[in-house]
Amino acid sequence: MAPTASSSVDAAAAASTRLGDSSVCGEAIDGPDLIKSAPKTQAVIEAKRDLIRQALFEDLDAVRLYVETALLLIEARDDFGTIYAIDRGAAHYRTIIGAKKELGSLREGTR
């Protein structure tokens, strides 16, 4: 039986649907797992370092802004706003600590 136009369209639609999911050769690949399994060439390591440095810069700037905001809120005697600003600054600072450790491990070549 010869393929009809509608069966070709159905096959193309099914293929595009399969391409939309993240499977290769029938095996599902999760994004982070794919990144972990990628070879660590010098270019990949340097690109990762650049991304970490950019994230550090942004988080350090956010900490600075939250500290300045907390100081202003202390002067304004806004206790709830002060607590919120300190909590947000601390969250960014925790992110900085994790990124610093990762940058250090890349520097040592352990990753």
Structure confidence by residue, pLDDT tens digits, 49-88: 999 999 999 999 999 999 999 999 999 999 999 999 999 9
Let me know: does 56 contact 94? Beta carbons within 8 Å.
no
Across residues 24-43, what is the average pLDDT? 60
3-state secondary structure (DSSP) of residue 63: helix
Let me know: does 23 contact 29? Beta carbons within 8 Å.
yes
3-state secondary structure (DSSP) of residue 28: strand
Q: What are phi and psi of 4, to 5 degrees?
A: -95, 170
Q: Where are the domains of the chain?
A: 1-38, 39-111
pTM of the model: 0.58
